[in-house]
């Protein structure tokens, strides 16, 4: 049977909630979903199996998996009227700005999945979100490059479908590389959930008011966008490009150590992990595989990244502060090698995190959690009388 984790009383008092979905041991660099280590899920499972695990707490049987994949496939198209929504944005709109808008707007299209007290509604809204996020994300990309939207295809698996919607054009079929599709699937798995991170806590707090799932997920997307959170993968590439050459690494490492300099090494450090982020290890292997397959192992940015990682693991400042590479450090390098623009990196993170967001949202609703209401320590002035304008 499954053992139970025990916590010291001090920690229990700081916990925001109870959850069965994901366990993290930041000191040991352990990440479990339903008890399964992330390394095993990334290397032996696939993204839709992991979605099922996060929602149900168990890996699916073959029959359950087949039915689930079929259901997701049947919901990958979005209402065609959504296309005109996209056309309201400027062409240079950040894809995350578009995603915030269109995901929230799903609540205006799917009235039969808004009653959160109805388990059937909760299930269909989860299916719709997992199925439609890749379609909406690819539409945001196609809109930004002025190419026509590509419809999902039922003969492709989840990650192949996303790559096809991203890169296929009416002029020629996109040749899907099984290695890239597998790498994309692994990246989705590695981002699938991470217990009470900022965006998941946002979804839980928004959802605790009884708002519909699409609005709650749109709130999570907004929180994820920040460079300290999901926006870090885009910030890593910007940082590597700014460093530009291995000869400038020491200059930036010195900036990162300088308390008066706001510069931080993007892709390093974590609120919880004070050891190697287990996801970063798998991401690093995937980066080597993908760049090897694409003949990019001498990519200058990858060489700068590997040198930075080596410094972070050896330099006393980073060792003492336990600043290890996190999930965002290598993901951007893989995505760039796959031809995905940096503006889409956080969108990819949002696609991967969608099943985690909705699993936590569903767990909170099913537990009949009360509305979230964080308390505060008030540090403002004590009560005083109003001062009329002519006395100020
Ligand atoms: C994600 O919560 C999650 O689970 C998030 C996530 C998920 O899956 O949802 O894992 C995804 O968001 C990963 C993190 C991505 N963000 C980045 O890579 C941005 C760069 N990292 C930093 O902004 C920072 O490390 C944070 C925001 C991630 C964590 O912030 P903390 O908790 O304030 O930093 P820390 O406790 O790790 O820092 C300890 C010390 C501090 O110095 P002191 O104030 O103690 O003197 O290390 C310093 C920090 O100033 N520090 C860094 C640094 N990160 C922290 N110094 C240089 N470079 C860095 N990257």
Q: List, for residues 273-284, the tens digit of each pLDDT value.
A: 888 899 999 998
How close is the Cα of 270 to the center of ligand 1, in Å?
Answer: 4
Whole-number pLDDT of residue 1: 41
Beta strand segments in the chain, E: 22-25, 30-33, 36-37
Mutate to test the pocket of ligand 1, among 223, 270, 308, 320 (most ligand atoms within 8 A of CB): 270
Give the Cα-Cα-Cα angle 305, 309, 312 (nearest 5 degrees). 140
Catalytic residue among 328, 360, 367, 390: 328
Question: What pLDDT does residue 133 have?
Answer: 98
Q: Which of 31-40, 50-59, 231-240 has the lowest mean pLDDT?
A: 231-240
Name the residue with higher pLDDT: 13 or 271: 271
Catalytic residue among 121, 191, 194, 270: 270
In the residue annotation, 25 being an active-site residue is answered as no
Question: Which pTM does this prediction carry?
Answer: 0.92
CB contact at 8 A, 176 and 156 = yes
Average pLDDT, the chain: 93
Catalytic residue status for 328 = yes
Write down the pLDDT at residue 374.
Answer: 87
pLDDT per residue over 321-349, tens digit each?
A: 989 888 889 898 899 989 999 999 999 99
Distance, CA 224 to ligand 1 centroid (Å)?
14
Residue 299 binned pLDDT confidence (cut-offs 50, 70, 90): confident
Which atom, in ligand 1's list, is nearest to the CA of 199? Answer: 9
Q: Which of 183, 180, 150 lies closest to 165 in space, CA to CA?
A: 150
Q: Which atom of ligand 1 is nearest to the CA of 198?
A: 2
Atom from ligand 1 closest to the CA of residue 195: 4
Whole-angstrom Cα distance, residue 102 to residue 345? 17
Q: Are 132 and 213 in contact (CB under 8 A)?
A: no
User: What is the pLDDT, as a whole number, of residue 361?
Assistant: 96
Q: Rounded mean pLDDT of 351-356?
A: 98
Cα 26 to ligand 1 centroid, rounded to whole Å: 13
What is the Å distance from ligand 1's center to 226 Cα? 13
Q: Output the 3-class SS for the chain.
A: CCCCCCCCHHHHHHCCCCCCCEEEECCCCEEEECCEEHHHHHHHCCHHHHHHHHHHCCCCCHHHHHHHHHHHHCCCCCCCCHHHHHCCCCCCCCHHHHHHHHHHHHHHCCHHHCCCCCHHHHHHHHHHHHHHHHHHHHHHHHHHCCCCCCCCCCCCCHHHHHHHHHHCECCECCCCCHHHHHHHHHHHHHCCCCCCCHHHHHHHHHHCCCCCHHHHHHHHHHHHCCCCCCCHHHHHHHHHHHHCCHHHHHHHHHHHHCCCCCCCCCCECCCCCCCCCHHHHHHHHHHHHHHHHCCCCCCHHHHHHHHHHHHHHHCHHHHHCCCCECHHHHHHHHHHHCCCCHHHHHHHHHHHHHHHHHHHHHHHHHCCCCCCCCCCCCCCCCCCCCCCHHHC
CA 324 to ligand 1 center in whole angstroms: 9
Tokens of 339: 């031809």
Name the pLDDT band for 158 (thresholds 50, 70, 90): very high
ipTM: 0.88
State the closest ligand 1 atom to the C-alpha of 24, by its place in the atom list counted from 1.
Answer: 4
Residue among 187, 223, 269 whose CB has most ligand 1 atoms within 8 A, to mutate: 269
Ligand 1-lining residues (CB < 6 angstroms): 194, 197, 228-229, 232, 256, 264-272, 321, 323, 326-328
Task: Give the pLDDT mean for 111-128.
Answer: 89
Over residues 216-235, the mean pLDDT reads 93
Highest mean pLDDT among 200-209, 226-235, 311-320: 200-209
Q: Which atom of ligand 1 is nearest to the CA of 193?
A: 8
The region of weakest confidence among 65-74, 192-201, 321-330, 348-357 is 321-330
């Amino acid at each position: 049977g499954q053992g139970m984790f025990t916590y010291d009383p001090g920690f229990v008092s700081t916990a925001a909630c109870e959850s069965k979905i994901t366990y993290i041991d930041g000191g040991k660099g352990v990440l479990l979903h339903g008890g399964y280590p992330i390394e095993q899920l990334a290397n032996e499972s696939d993204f839709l199996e992991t979605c099922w695990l996060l929602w149900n707490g168990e890996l699916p049987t073959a029959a359950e998996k087949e039915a689930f994949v079929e259901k997701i496939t049947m919901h990958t198209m979005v209402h065609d009227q959504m296309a005109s929504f996209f056309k309201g944005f400027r062409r240079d709109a950040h894809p995350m700005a578009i995603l915030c808008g269109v995901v929230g707007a799903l609540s205006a299209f799917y009235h039969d999945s808004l009653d959160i007290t109805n388990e059937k509604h909760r299930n269909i809204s989860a299916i719709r979100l997992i199925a439609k996020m890749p379609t909406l994300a690819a539409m945001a990309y196609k809109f930004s490059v002025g190419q026509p939207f590509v419809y999902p295809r039922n003969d492709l698996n989840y990650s192949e479908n996303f790559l096809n919607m991203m890169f296929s054009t009416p002029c020629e079929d996109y040749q899907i590389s099984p290695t890239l599709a597998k790498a994309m699937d692994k990246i989705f798995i590695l981002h699938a959930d991470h217990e009470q991170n900022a965006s998941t806590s946002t979804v839980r707090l928004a959802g605790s008011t009884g708002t519909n799932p699409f609005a709650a997920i749109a709130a999570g997307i907004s929180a994820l966008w920040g460079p300290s959170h999901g926006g870090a993968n885009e910030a890593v590439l910007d940082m590597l490009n700014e460093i530009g050459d291995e000869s400038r690494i020491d200059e930036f490492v010195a900036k990162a150590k300088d308390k008066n300099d706001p510069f931080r090494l993007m892709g390093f450090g974590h609120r919880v992990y004070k050891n190697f982020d287990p996801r970063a290890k798998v991401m690093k292997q995937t980066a080597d595989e993908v760049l090897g397959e694409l003949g990019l192992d001498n990519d200058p940015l990858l060489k700068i990244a590997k040198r930075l990682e080596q410094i972070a693991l050896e330099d006393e400042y980073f060792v003492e502060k336990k600043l290890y590479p996190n999930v965002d450090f290598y993901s951007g390098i893989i995505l760039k090698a796959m031809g995905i623009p940096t503006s889409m990196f956080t969108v990819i993170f949002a696609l991967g995190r969608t099943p985690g967001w909705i699993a936590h949202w569903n767990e909170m609703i099913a537990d009949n959690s009360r509305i979230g209401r964080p308390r505060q320590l008030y540090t403002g002035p004590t009560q005083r009388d109003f001062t009329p304008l002519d006395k100020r």
